[in-house]
């Protein structure tokens, strides 16, 4: 495979970089040691700050974040029996969105796949390939699909 840029790791940084490069006409390949299924289901961060929200929206991958994320303009600190509101928007003009990191990953992988870009491999470390493996199918679904294909052939 020939490509202009190789990116190691399909975390939010690698995937977003690949997406931003694509928007500027620079093709890249993202090499990942875990499967697509694994990266899309690893629970990690949950809070997106304003700069990230803006970047995802401006680059066309923020629709689900806007629709499904929880926008917060502040939060409360409880101390010595009193609750004090920290008005983020009032103080800074910015807000935050609670939207799980693995959902951001799903949106970014979907954008890469839609652009026809290879991304993310299930191969062990040091042996990279550049394709997204299909999600693993359960044994019963595989059996059912084999039964269907032999019935139709």
Closer residue to ligand FAD, CB minimum distance, 89 or 100: 100
CA nearest neighbour of 16 among 68, 46, 58, 50 = 58
Interaction site with ligand FAD (CB under 6 A): 8-14, 31-34, 39, 44-47, 101, 125
Q: What is the DSSP letter of 136?
A: P
The burial class, CB within 10 Å (0-12 / 13-18 / 19+), for 122 is middle
Closer residue to ligand FAD, CB minimum distance, 42 or 78: 42
Contact 23, 59 (CB under 8 A): yes
Q: Find the shortest distance in angstroms from Cβ 89 to ligand FAD.
A: 18
Q: Find the shortest distance in angstroms from Cβ 98 to ligand FAD.
A: 8
Q: Which two tokens stand for residue 49?
A: 């700050």
Q: Which residue's beta carbon is nearest to the bound ligand FAD?
A: 11
Q: Find the shortest distance in angstroms from Cβ 9 to ligand FAD.
A: 2
């Amino acid at each position: 495979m020939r490509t202009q840029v190789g990116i190691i790791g399909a975390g939010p940084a690698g995937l977003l970089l690949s997406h931003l490069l694509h928007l500027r006409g620079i093709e890249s390949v993202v090499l990942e040691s875990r499967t697509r299924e694994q990266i899309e289901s690893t629970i990690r961060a949950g809070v997106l700050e304003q700069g990230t929200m803006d970047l995802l929206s401006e680059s066309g991958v923020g629709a689900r974040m806007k629709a499904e994320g929880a926008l917060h303009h502040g939060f409360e600190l409880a101390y010595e029996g009193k609750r004090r509101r920290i008005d983020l928007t009032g103080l800074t003009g910015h807000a935050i969105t609670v939207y799980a990191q693995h959902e951001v990953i799903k949106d970014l992988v979907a954008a890469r796949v839609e652009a026809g870009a290879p991304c993310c491999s299930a191969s062990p470390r040091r042996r990279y390939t550049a394709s997204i493996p299909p999600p693993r199918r359960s044994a019963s679904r595989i059996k059912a699909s084999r039964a269907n294909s032999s019935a139709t052939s």
